[in-house]
Amino acid sequence: MYPGLEGVEVKESEICFIDLENSKIWYRGYDLEELAQYSTYEETVYLLLYGRLPTVGELGEFSKKLAAHRRLPSHVYDLVTNAPKSGEPIDVLRTAVSAMALGEDLSDKSPEAELSRGVKILASMPLAVAVFHRARDGQSAITPEGAESHAEYYLWALRGERPTARETRAMDVMFIIYAEHSMNNSAFTAVTVSSTLADMYAAITAAIASLKGPLHGGANVDAARMLEEINRIGNVEKWVDSQLAAGRRIPGFGHRIYKRGPDPRLRVLKSLAGDLAAERGDYKWLEIAQRLEEYVGSKLSQKGIYPNTDLYAAVIFKYLQLPVDMNLPTFAIARAAGWVAHVVEYRRANRLIRPTERYRGPARLRYVPLSQRETPTASVG
């Protein structure tokens, strides 16, 4: 038995290698830290989806394709615009992706057909999120003409004004860092759904549902709320002590696979958070995160608990002035690349995913007619 499927290898993959010994992550053989430094999200998505870095011409074509797909079918646009304002943006995004399937011919189940659906979904997710966000604020939707990247398009569509080059680059780096991370819960969910030969819309809808949970992507919202609750560096110890005393987990800490040292992505995230804090002359969120890291570390590192990406992602998104509940759909927008890559890879040699379990329940009970049943001592809910 493998509780939580810890350590179970479910498929072979050429997409992402996490080298725990050397604290490195590789996307298709390329060092993630180099990609974060020199690449763009578009180039990284191309790499993840097509298996190699693009030429200038290929990247241009791919960027044009993404731009052309940055639109929503009218029924999805209406759904997102009219969604209850109190809805969580991640739920609206999940519903929007599901609704995108309506009216499309889904009969072609080839990996190529799923890949082109995946590109369409990935391209249109920022608009779905931005349209909802602006509608709930009573603002009309913006479809930025002339946005030069996915990151710029997203921030622009969300805010209604063009972000600075620095903000765009920071979001681009976040997209690259969040784009893929091997067989995590949401990638496994996407592959599991797709293994039944359900379509890419179904797989991505399910992956977004998985990402939402606070043990997975939802932690980047909880971590931002934690920073806000703490609010002053002097409150860190008291806040952490009260959480632990109440038996609660500290969001942004702990990881299923990083139990012998911190997540390698933190090197990039900490440096980006430091740059943004310095540019803004506002160190508050960074310093709270650093104090949290020291203090939670002093309490929990002996259990193999270190900060994860969501702690510093929350700091970076604070500096980018993202509304807190947008942290999670922002993660989903970036991670769509990894989900699509895994679904397409698995579809190429598909086998239905159908594990088993060990039965521990009662055996050989005899059916008692309803009229003869006695009231059990503990009644059922």
Residues tagged active-site = 255, 310
**Residue whose beta carbon is closest to ligand ACO:** 254
**306 burial class (0-12, 13-18, 19+ CB within 10 angstroms)?**
buried
d(CA 36, CA 57): 21
- The amino acid occupying position 127 is L
Which CB, 39 or 308, lies closer to ligand ACO?
A: 308
Which residues are registered as beta bridge partners of 31? 26
Which CB, 18 or 300, lies closer to ligand ACO?
A: 300
- 136, 162, 225, 256: which one binds ligand ACO (CB under 6 A): 256
Which CB, 115 or 177, lies closer to ligand ACO?
A: 177
* Closest listed residue to residue 80, CA positions, set 136, 132, 155: 132
Q: In the window 4-43, what residues touch ligand ACO (CB under 6 A)?
A: 4
User: Phi and psi (nearest 5°) for 253?
Assistant: -130, 145
Site string (155-194) toward ligand ACO, x via CB under 6 A: ----------------------------------------
**H or E, element range at 17:** strand 16-19
Q: Cβ 219 to ligand ACO, closest distance in Å?
A: 3
Q: Cβ 313 to ligand ACO, closest distance in Å?
A: 9
- 250, 272, 273, 332: which one binds ligand ACO (CB under 6 A): 250
Q: What is the dihedral sign for C-alpha 17, 18, 20, 22?
A: positive
- The amino acid occupying position 338 is G
Counting residues that bind ligand ACO (by CB under 6 A) gives 19
Contact present, 31 and 81 (Cβ < 8 Å): no
Work out whether 305 is an interface residue with ligand ACO (CB under 6 A): yes
One-character DSSP codes across 185-234? HHHHHHHHHHTTT--HHHHHHHHHHHHHSTTTTTHHHHHHHHHHHH-SGG
- 118, 126, 163, 252: which one binds ligand ACO (CB under 6 A): 252
Q: Which residues contact 353 (CB under 8 A, 6 or more apart)?
A: 10, 191, 192, 195
Work out whether 249 is an interface residue with ligand ACO (CB under 6 A): yes
**Rg of the chain over CA atoms, in angstroms?**
22
Q: Cβ 2 to ligand ACO, closest distance in Å?
A: 12
Q: In the window 200-229, what residues touch ligand ACO (CB under 6 A)?
A: 214-217, 219
Work out whether 335 is an interface residue with ligand ACO (CB under 6 A): no
Q: In the window 337-356, what residues touch ligand ACO (CB under 6 A)?
A: none
Which CB, 144 or 262, lies closer to ligand ACO?
A: 262
Q: Cβ 190 to ligand ACO, closest distance in Å?
A: 14
**Chain contacts with ligand ACO (rule: CB under 6 A):** 4, 214-217, 219, 249-256, 300, 303, 305, 308, 310
